[in-house]
């Protein structure tokens, strides 16, 4: 069973801190319809998550169902973007670095 958006974001700092995010400096706002809004900040390997929108380099919007499929590896994020299931506003190059958080 896939984690809810809330469970995913609450556990993200313990899963994502470290070598995969070393040297990375970016902030993201995730707007998950039906799952909440979360701000994720990455500062040279340290990942922090705050519930709500505290501003970010880019905003990623999707449904909770699509988000859960992406997290489970059942939905390619690029394909979700290309088909309009996932929207990115702001710094698209920052969004491309997200693979390090979802690894």
The pair of three-digit structure tokens given for residue 49, joined into one six-digit string: 């998550």
What pLDDT score was predicted for residue 99?
74
| Rounded Cα–Cα distance for residues 76 and 62 (Å) | 13
Region 10-37: mean pLDDT is 87
* Max Cα distance, the chain (Å): 33
Tell me: the pLDDT tens digits for 52-101? Answer: 999 999 999 999 999 999 988 899 988 999 999 999 999 988 888 887 67
Cα–Cα distances (Å) from 2 to 49, 73, 94, in that order, read 19, 10, 25
- Tell whether the model's pLDDT for residue 3 goes beyond 80: no
Region 30-56: mean pLDDT is 94
- Range with the lowest mean pLDDT among 5-19, 22-36, 38-52, 85-99? 5-19
């Amino acid at each position: 069973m896939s984690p809810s958006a809330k469970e995913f974001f609450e556990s993200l700092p313990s899963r994502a801190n470290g070598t995969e995010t070393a040297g990375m400096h970016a902030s993201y706002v995730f707007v998950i319809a039906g799952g909440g809004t979360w701000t994720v900040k990455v500062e040279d390997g340290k990942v922090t998550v705050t519930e709500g929108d505290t501003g970010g380099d880019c905003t990623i919007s999707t449904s909770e169902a699509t988000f859960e499929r992406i997290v489970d590896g059942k939905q390619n994020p690029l394909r979700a973007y290309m088909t309009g299931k996932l929207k990115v506003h702001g710094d698209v190059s920052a969004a491309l670095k997200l693979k390090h958080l979802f690894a």
